[in-house]
Amino acid sequence: MEHITGEMHGRGWIEVICGSMFSGKTEELIRRLKRARIARQKVEIFKPALDVRYDLQHVVSHDETMIQSTPVQAASQIILLASGVDVVGIDEAQFFDIELVSVCDILADQGIRVIVAGLDMDFQGKPFGPMPSLLASAEFVTKVHAICMECGNLAHYSFRTASEKKLVLLGETDSYVPLCRRCYKARNP
């Protein structure tokens, strides 16, 4: 992370930022990427093409902080588009296929700092997409928390309020609320 980048200069690694919806994952990703740019590092940011909630060409946090990005259909495209960079940022990692894990490993092996943000669990409380494998292979993991919308405690579950049952449902406060363990379990006995 930032306090050790001098020690790890020239060597790549993987950082994962995970948590529930509304926990600040994208905000933290953008913060780290902007700091890398301030340090005059060449940065490229990618997001899944299916994420069109806020903007087609930007990664945007819930508080509307944004950074230019490249939407990609598949994780394999990232390798082709990330040549000559120092830092790669990837948002909404849970929407990529499992190939994202090998893509991140390849980039890190090439000496690139890879920063990945995504949901660690789906709305059913199960590990989501490639995130468990990314968490296992990352050198650094940051778990961020939202605030439970029922009791005010730290939340790490994304509770779906919409009746849709499919796994991927792009949405915001109209479809999800963050809940703590106790409140989530109370709604999902």
For residue 186 the two structure tokens come to 């109370």
Strands 140-144 and 13-19, by their bridges, are parallel
* Alpha carbon distances (Å) from 59 to 49, 160, 161: 11, 22, 24
Residue spans of beta strands (DSSP E) within 24-165 = 43-48, 58-60, 66-68, 70-72, 87-90, 113-119, 140-144, 146-147, 154-155, 157-160
92 is catalytic: yes
The Cα–Cα gap between 110 and 8 comes to 13
The Cα–Cα gap between 122 and 147 comes to 17
Catalytic residue (one of 7, 28, 92, 99): 92
Which has the closest alpha carbon to 66: 96, 93, 31? 31
What are the catalytic residues?
A: 92
